A and B are shown apart, each in its own frame.
Chain A
Amino acid sequence: MHFFKLITRNTLRHKLRTALTVLGLVIAFLSFGLLQTIVDAWYHGAEAAAPNRLITRNAVSLTIPLPKHYREKVRAVQGVKTVAAANWFAGVYKDPKNFFPQFAVEAVPYFSMYPEYRLAEDEFRDFLRDRKGAVVGRKLAQTFGFKVGDVVPLKGTIFPGNWDFVVRAIYDAGEEKTDTSLLFFHWDYLNETMKQRFPLRANQTGIFIVEVNDVDRAAAISEDIDKQFKNSTAETLTETEQAFQIGFVKQTEAIVIAIRLVSFVVIFIILAVMANTMAMTARERLGEYATLKALGFGPGYVAALIFGESLAIAAVGCVIGIALTFPIGEWFAGEMGTLFPVFEVSTETVALQAACALAVGLIAAALPARRAAGVRIVEGLRSIG
């Protein structure tokens, strides 16, 4: 019982020092949590991918389109259930800072492949009837205040000109990881408009989304699709939706690595601060530790006192840091608008924060505890007086 009393009271002995150390820990674990959540958000697309969906794109580059007529050949490959053409649109809504992803899709096959986009049947019917109609996600609608019937004007970048879309449906997330910050409109509308404005760019698509019957045959089906277009003017590369998304993220991997690195640097810095605090603490109490040893308490007891104090401080900092990660993460996500479609502090992040706190608490105490446990009693007693 005295063990815990000693730890608690020793922890509160230098209130200012402990408070400043805890403050440092809170900031460190909060920053760590937010940075890890940013990394998670970066990989969100890959995590939300379904194993039964493949992406077929131009083998040379994603920026080079594929002929639309490939669709039928892809559809004919054994094991393919559904195919939908899709184009990244990259329009600007009022101001470039209002970024959100927009896709031109073949609506019926596309939405049949994405059951996680929950749409009201009547709204979806309205969308199908309106060639300028659009489907927007709930988060996007909330961010910009879009309602059914609203016109969303976009300024084209890849597809020049002004484009007006009418919101006909708002979809909700069917799963936790479903991105609801997207806008979809009809691929046919894009193609028809391109026929009029830039005929040479008509009848082309960025990618095909392919649904397969058998997930276990996804690799074989991918090969079969690509074989169809071998030695053609536009060879294809087919991969799983997840591989496609990871490939996308890999283009910005340096940033992700930098963020990860910074998050661990923050932990390393607070580890150094904490180790310094514990070293000072243990040095000041060397006489007390020597007295305890003289009374018959073993070196393990002395070391445990230091580890206990270090872990207690790290735990308090960590708990407050984790508790603050949620509201501040929410605020941060709000400030970022639709940049991060899903910005949620995951259980893994919380576990990582706790693991880092444990590591900081243990490592910071290791050397001071070793020194205090090993100090000769007569030397320790000399430090008193």
Chain B
Amino acid sequence: MSSDTSRSAPRPPIIEIRNLSKSYRRGAQIVPVLSDITLDILSGDFVALMGPSGSGKSTLLNLIAGIDKPDGGSLRVAGADIAAMSEADLADWRAEHVGFIFQFYNLMPVLTAFENVELPLMLTRLTARERKDHVETALEMVGLADRMDHYPSELSGGQQQRVAIARAVITDPTILVADEPTGDLDRVSAEDILNLMDRLNSELGKTIVMVTHDPNAARYARSLRHLEKGVLTEG
């Protein structure tokens, strides 16, 4: 793996970021988090965003995922200018285009693995039968076909993250965003998750943007971006 490289043939960018900036208000103070970010991420790429704490990598990921809004610049993801979208349109857009993998899995504790994976499908027009087929396929893909009826509290961290990945891919989203997906896992489980993400990218062609501190995790990415104090730097 090397910085800013891709093994794929030239493909159109699925994420186009131009002069993006973002700041937060802390009391009376305005704290800049991202400054003048310009970046293209190609369809089918697996990008790792690295940087120290506070460098703005999670903020950039949130902006790409459409769960936060930039202060300036343009942000096109999957052909849509998401910076200009209303909250309601963004919600619909996320449901269709983004799969989320969180550090702490963010599963609904009162739903079983099956129900958690099925959750995003409730926003589609699929029938119960079709949803069942989709969920079973996704859980088989992540190796948890025999844990469908288990609640998150009955699963290990690695298993919970695999359920979360199944939930992330169940709607066949355009991009997968992963925020420290192995940050809460032991080394073996982390390897499992990263191998799974690698398969999603290489076999299914999923575009993945992953934020990580962990250089071992970053090794799985096809390309690497570094952020330092809110600015993209050469890795």
Interface residues of A (CB under 8 A from B): 1-2, 5-6, 9-10, 13, 287-288, 291-299, 376-378, 381, 384-385
Contact = CB atoms under 8 A, between A and B. Distances in A.
Given A293-B91, A296-B94, A385 B111 contact: no
B94 A295 contact: yes
B103 A295 contact: no
B217 to A, nearest CB: 17
A376 B59 CA distance: 13
B67 A377 contact: yes
A122 to B, nearest CB: 70
A330 to B, nearest CB: 40
Nearest to B67: A377
B67 A294 contact: yes
A5 B115 contact: yes
Contacts of A2: 111, 115, 118-119, 122
- Interface of A, helix, strand, loop or mixed by DSSP: helix
Nearest to A379: B68
B99 to A, nearest CB: 9
Given A295-B94, A298-B91, A381 B102 contact: yes
B104 interface: yes
B110 A294 contact: no
B106 A384 contact: yes
A378 B111 contact: no
- Interface of B, helix, strand, loop or mixed by DSSP: helix
A377 B69 CA distance: 11
A6 B111 contact: yes
B46 interface: no
Interface of B: 62, 65, 67-68, 87-88, 91-92, 94-96, 100, 102-104, 106, 108-111, 115, 118-120, 122-123, 128, 167, 184
Among B65, B67, B95, which residue has the most Cβ atoms of chain A within 10 A?
A: B67
Given A296-B91, A377-B67, A6 B106 contact: no
A62 to B, nearest CB: 65
B100 A295 contact: yes
Nearest to A384: B104
B67 A5 contact: no
A295 B184 CA distance: 21
Contacts of B87: 299
The 8 residue pairs across chains A and B that have the minimum distance between CB atoms: A296-B95, A9-B110, A377-B67, A291-B106, A385-B104, A296-B94, A384-B104, A378-B68
Nearest to B116: A2
Contacts of B92: 296
Contacts of A296: 91-92, 94-96, 120, 123
B25 to A, nearest CB: 12
Contacts of B167: 295
Contacts of A288: 106, 108-109
A297 B123 contact: yes
Contacts of B119: 2, 292, 295
A299 B92 CA distance: 12
Contacts of B109: 13, 288
A351 to B, nearest CB: 33
Contacts of B108: 6, 288, 291-292
Contacts of A297: 91, 95, 123
Contacts of B68: 376-378
A1 B88 CA distance: 22
A9 B123 CA distance: 20
A245 B120 CA distance: 64
Contacts of A295: 94-95, 100, 119-120, 123, 167
Contacts of B103: 385
Given A378-B62, A378-B67, A5 B111 contact: yes
Contacts of A292: 108, 119
B231 to A, nearest CB: 20
A283 to B, nearest CB: 16
B123 to A, nearest CB: 5
23 contacts: A2-B111, A2-B118, A2-B119, A5-B110, A5-B111, A6-B111, A13-B109, A293-B67, A294-B65, A294-B67, A294-B94, A295-B94, A295-B123, A296-B92, A296-B94, A297-B95, A298-B88, A377-B68, A381-B67, A384-B102, A385-B103, A385-B104, A385-B184
Contacts of A6: 108, 110-111
Among B95, B103, B108, B120, which residue has the most Cβ atoms of chain A within 10 A?
A: B108
Nearest to B88: A298
Nearest to B180: A385
Contacts of B111: 2, 5-6, 9
Contacts of B67: 293-294, 377-378, 381
Contacts of B106: 287-288, 291, 294, 381, 384
Among A10, A295, A299, A384, which residue has the most Cβ atoms of chain B within 10 A?
A: A295
Given A5-B111, A378-B68, A294 B118 contact: no
Contacts of B115: 2, 5
A384 B119 CA distance: 19
Contacts of A299: 87
Given A13-B110, A297-B91, 8 more contacts: A2-B122, A9-B111, A13-B109, A288-B108, A291-B108, A293-B91, A295-B94, A377-B62
